[in-house]
Structure 1
Amino acid sequence: MKISNEEKGQANTDLSYRALALQVTCDAVNQLTDTVEVRTQMMATIQRISQQIRASINFIGKDTRLVVLPEYFLTGFPMGESIEEWKSKACIEMDGLEYEALGKVAQDNNIFLSGNVYELDPHFPEIYFQTCFLIDPSGKVVLRYRRLNSMFAPTPHDVWDKYLDIYGIEGVFPVAKTEIGNIGLIASEEILYPEIARSLMLRGAEILLHSSSEVASPQLTQKHIGRLARSIENMAYVISANSAGMSNIPIPMASTDGSSAIIDYRGLILAEAGSGESMVANGEIDLAALRRARRRPGMGNIISRQRLELYAPIYNDISIYPANSLSEKKAERSHFIQTQLEVIDSLTRRGLIK
């Protein structure tokens, strides 16, 4: 019997599956000095995660279609290394062996796999970007989002004009329209920047994948509140994977450990992990329910009640952090704090802060 286009559309809206925010330990590479050692450790990390994903899916259920990994799960973050040193030590190529290995994990488990890494881009050989990625079940990278707000690392905004020329605004706020829903990516503390999640929603995102490595607490943290707010504001699922601590660095290991979570489009926490390596943060993604909620009239339909023209003049008339700050400068860690100090001084002189 042939299925009509209308029936096909209805079948698509009935889609549901399980997602997993896999909380894994980050083995940092900071104390390694040999590049071969670093690459060997990265591949060992991927192998370890591959085994954890397979075992978790066997336990949770074969309908697990999406797995999210923590922020910089392969390497940790720079601790004193210069931009150039970190670029050589810990950053991976856009078509490198690490992505190939991660693609194999996605293929072997028939999942969409997301995470966050430090990545090189041949268009910008002097710097690197912190990149969230999404790999589909064929093993192909179908989505890249480069972190736009970072305290001590280069971002697309720092080379804004050239970045837009190459990738366009679609490459700044990309959304992948996949068989498991429309997916956007958010990096770490950017969950505190509502404009990013809103921009992704306005480009169609239904599910926001949040790779993080953050302080967790039994108390509400800023990022915890941010995740709930972004889900409510955008009527979107938020799948947030935190690290299960960081090894091989001087900072106490469990400082970034716990609270990976699945949050639905109403801001309800469906599952949340405690501390340590964990598959507890898994839950059902019910796209049919989300899509029904987005089509339902009433006060709760926040998306349909947006009046964006109200805010556009304010955003257009005020500039705070300058674009293109690295377009003609060498990227150094000191540049970022100096730029922030200049911004604070400018805001003070303009009377925006006292």
Structure 2
Amino acid sequence: MTLHRVAAAQFFSGTDTAANLELCTDHIRRAAEGGARLVVLPENSNRLRDYADRQECWEHSPTLDGPFVDGLREAARTHGVYVAAGVDLRGERAPDVHICSVLITPEGEIAGVHRKHVLWDYEYTLFVPGDEPYQVHDTELGRIGLLLCADGIVPDTPRALALMGAQILCNSLNSRGPDEYRVHVPLRSMENRVFHVAANTVGGPADGWPWMGGSQIVAPDGTRLADAGETEPGIVFADIDPTEADDKVMPGVGDLFAWRRTDLYAPLTAPLEELPVARMCGPAPEDMPSRPVRVATLQVSHFHNTDWTVTRAVEQIAYAGRRGADLGVLPSLFCFAPGEVAADPAGAAELSARVLERLSRACADAGVWVVAHLVEEEAGHHYSTAYLLDRSGRVVHTYRKTHLDTGEREWARPGDRIDVVRTEIGTIGLMVGEEVWVPEVARLLTLAGAEIIAHPTDWSTPEAAHVAATERTEENRVHLVSCTRLDSAAEVGSQVLRADEFAPGQPIALMRYPTGYWSRPGFEEQLLVELDLREANSKMMGHHLDPVATRAPELYGMFLD
């Protein structure tokens, strides 16, 4: 095992470019004195963006061969460290400027430049997104991938870099949102099993919304190895072994790269105009009416005995009907005790067939749509299957889980499709359990036009709910209804996250963080939430950023490898 010390610096760059260069070189010096071999600096370390228009942005932006980058190169050479610095660089012609991450070697050479692909809202008025293929840089420290801030709001750039072999993500940020620290940065480590060195701007003018800091170094399992806090400038260090990122196994879940279903991922590389989601991108039409749907999490699972558990589920459906619910979601394998299915999958399939009949009658009696996750048998094979029953009790859609976790591989065969169904209560997609860790599943359902994703689950960790599920809603702008078991190891209750339609004047946090509703864990409870399908038909996260339409499918060939 070879440990390398890495560092993340957070500070605020003002309008004095010379002073900003001195600030950057001082942090490079401090990182080297602290033993770091790699230091990441924030986005736009060169200058505060107080520009009125693109022309002014051009006039104040440096070139790659100009004195600002030369100063960074000299500092890297003097102190013998790798530097990943966020710098806004002029493009080939005026007034084009790109938001860039520049990777500099200890010899002062430029190893690579990444032009930010996904811009944060206002940035589209000043900068030009990059469109170059992704690159991973081989160094003596390990394989390094570069990204910048909003590149990590969506799953695509971090996933592409990880699939290309990156062990360390160097992320320069300029974020005022609380979600980078709490969701994007840790999740991109966890779902890709890579190290993540993230450096954000902090503070700012006293009369303005502050930049959120939260610079951190995150291990492949999501452990925060170093944390600079959200209020003060500083620099943090961690010792890492980059080869740990070659192990893609999430304990209890499986190998997160080996279980990918590239045979199902073709829509990820299709042009936007060929996908059903195209009509949902951008803001919702002004004349689109509200389309309310009341959803309920039917939080009941195996307790006392099987018959009693099924009776409670039937009563939950009836109660949801009396409360005016349109759709109810039951937890993962709700009628089985832990380990029961693996011990006797044939018996579990027989019981599931009987339970499905009872649920069908309950739906018809209550006039409620229900999602139930059970065991299906066909031709001697068993499947981990989610069923959607309509208000008459008819099965209108099934989803055989396509990404099986470690336990399910003992008894189940994976399904062969990820699709949605269009119904009177909206376009619905189904996702099961630990698939919340697979960004491709929710992404594919979104591209297929899902307005609601129903998610029977059994939270294995609090992060599955508060980080992974939250991200699936934020990056796709789709409603997510997750219902968990009473015996969930995470001790986190069921959760409903709404797509949230952007409205001018929203605080930055509300632009980025989906509204959430939770039930209490560990006992039978029912959470009832009214959603509006209109919200899922507006993919805007601000005035200019659509996190679905800004995808670059022509660059995602590695998703199918």
Which of 7, 22, 29 aligns to 2:9? It is: 22
Structure 2 Cα separation of the partners of residues 226 and 85 of structure 1: 31
Instruction: Tell me: higher relative CO, structure 1 or 2? Use CA pairs within 8 A at least 6 residues apart.
Output: 1
Q: Which has the larger radius of gyration?
A: 2
- Partner in structure 2 of residue 8 of structure 1: none
Q: Aligned pair 1:231/2:189, yes or no?
A: yes
- What corresponds to 2:477 in structure 1? none
Instruction: Please say if 1:137 is aligned against 2:106.
Output: yes
Q: Aligned match of 1:344 in 283, 286, 292?
A: 283
* Pairwise CA distance, 1:250: 5.2
Matched residue, 2:297: none
* 2:208 alignment partner in structure 1: 251
Gaps of 5+ in 2: 289-426, 428-448, 450-535, 538-561
Tell me the CA shift for residue 144 of structure 1.
0.9
- Give the TM-score taking structure 1 as reference length: 0.72
**C-alpha distance in 2 between matches for 1:92 and 1:235:** 35
When residues 16 and 276 of structure 1 are mapped into structure 2, their CA distance, relative to the original with a 3 A threshold, is: same
Matched, 1:313 2:267: yes
Q: Secondary structure at the match of 2:202?
A: coil
Are 2:55 and 2:94, in contact at CA under 8 Å, matched by a contact in 1?
no
Do residues 110 (structure 1) and 80 (structure 2) align?
Answer: yes
Describe how 1:35-184 pairs up with structure 2 within 5 A: 41-58=16-33, 60=34, 62=35, 64-79=36-51, 81-89=52-60, 91-122=61-92, 124-150=93-119, 151=121, 152=124, 153-156=126-129, 171-184=132-145
State, as a whole percentage, how many aligned pairs show the same letter.
Answer: 23
Q: Are 1:216 and 1:258, in contact at CA under 8 Å, matched by a contact in 2?
A: no
Shift of 1:200: 1.0
Q: 2:233 aligns with which of 267, 277, 287?
A: 277
C-alpha spacing 1:15/1:319, structure 2 compared with 1 (3 Å):
farther
Shift of the alpha carbon at 1:311? Answer: 1.8
Larger % of helix: which? 1
- State the Cα deviation string for residues 15-61 of structure 1 (Å, max 9, x = none): 3211110112221x2xxxxxxxxxxx323222233233323432x3x
Q: Kindly report which structure 2 residues correspond to 1:195-214, keeping only aligned pairs within 5 A, or say none.
A: 195-214=156-175
Q: 2:157 & 2:232 partners in 1: Cα distance?
A: 29
CA 1:147–1:318: 2 relative to 1, 3 Å: same
- Residues 56-106 of structure 1, C-alpha deviation per residue, up to 9 Å, x if partnerless? 432x3x3x1000001112212245x111111112x1112111111100110
| Superposition RMSD in Å | 3.0
**Aligned to 1:172, what secondary structure does the other structure show?**
coil
CA shift in 2, pair 1:174/1:42, >3 Å: same
Indicate how the Cα distance of structure 1 residues 47 and 311 shifts in structure 2: closer, same or farther if over 3 A, else same.
same
| CA 88–46 in structure 1, closer or farther in 2 if over 3 Å, else same | same
Q: Secondary structure at the match of 1:306?
A: coil
In 2, the alpha carbon distance for the partners of 1:116 and 1:203 equals 22
Give distance in 1, aligned partners of 2:20 and 2:251.
Answer: 47
Secondary structure of the residue that 1:148 maps to in structure 2? coil
Q: Aligned to 2:245, which of 290, 299, 312? A: 290
Cα distance in 1 between the residues matched to 2:168 and 2:219: 9
Name the CA shift for 1:342/1:198 in 2 (closer, same or farther; >3 Å).
closer
Structure 2 counterpart SS, 1:88: helix
Query: How far did 1:296 drift?
Result: 10
Where 2:174 maps in the other structure, the secondary structure is coil
Structure with a larger share of its residues in strand: 2
SS in 2 for 1:76: coil
The CA deviation at 1:257 is 3.6
2-structure distance, mates of 1:314, 1:51: 43
> Which letter does structure 1 place at the counterpart of 2:66?
G
TM-score by length of 2: 0.47
**Aligned residue in 1 for 2:479:** none
